Amino acid sequence: MAKKKSKKKKSGVKIEFISRVKLHEKEFEEKLELIMNGVKDENILVLEEALNAQEKAKLIEKSMEECDEDFPGIEFSGFDSRGNWIEKILYQITGRERKDGLLIVGSSDIMEKVEEDKDAISMIAKLE
């Protein structure tokens, strides 16, 4: 018979801020594992990098595959930083994808309310 994980009573939520530099040196699959491991450890991750639509879809897919009674899935919210027109042209010329922005990711049982607009995100994390 599988042993159930006992949830420890926590006095707070650990928030990890992960720099763009640390993320830039990783392939997407490594970033995905970093995110999933952090969220499964009941942390909230703040990434200094936006995800494109395809990466968001893969993150959702991975989360859904791993949902069970101990892991309810993820919530995430973010925004892309808008650069000036010179930066946009440079990214188009070089073929690099612009990923400047911010992404907040956490377990759906911790991230209670997320509100966002084009330049700001607010979140309420619940403690149990």
pLDDT in tens, 44-102: 999 998 888 888 899 999 999 999 988 999 988 887 765 555 666 665 676 555 567 88
The whole-number pLDDT of residue 16 equals 94
Q: How far is CA 72 from CA 60, 94, 115, in A?
A: 12, 40, 20
Domain boundaries, the chain: 15-125
Report which of residues 97 and 125 the model is more confident about: 125
β-strand 15-18 against 44-47: which pairing, if any?
A: parallel
* pTM flag (> 0.85): no
Structure tokens at 67: 């949902």
pLDDT in tens, 19-46: 988 888 889 999 999 999 999 998 999 9
CA distance 127 to 111: 9
Task: Please name which of 6, 9, 7, 66 lies closest in space to residue 35, comparing C-alpha atoms.
Answer: 66
Q: Which residues contact 48 (CB under 8 A, 6 or more apart)?
A: 17, 18, 19, 20, 23, 101, 102
Contact 103, 50 (CB under 8 A): yes
Paired residues of 18 in beta bridges: 47
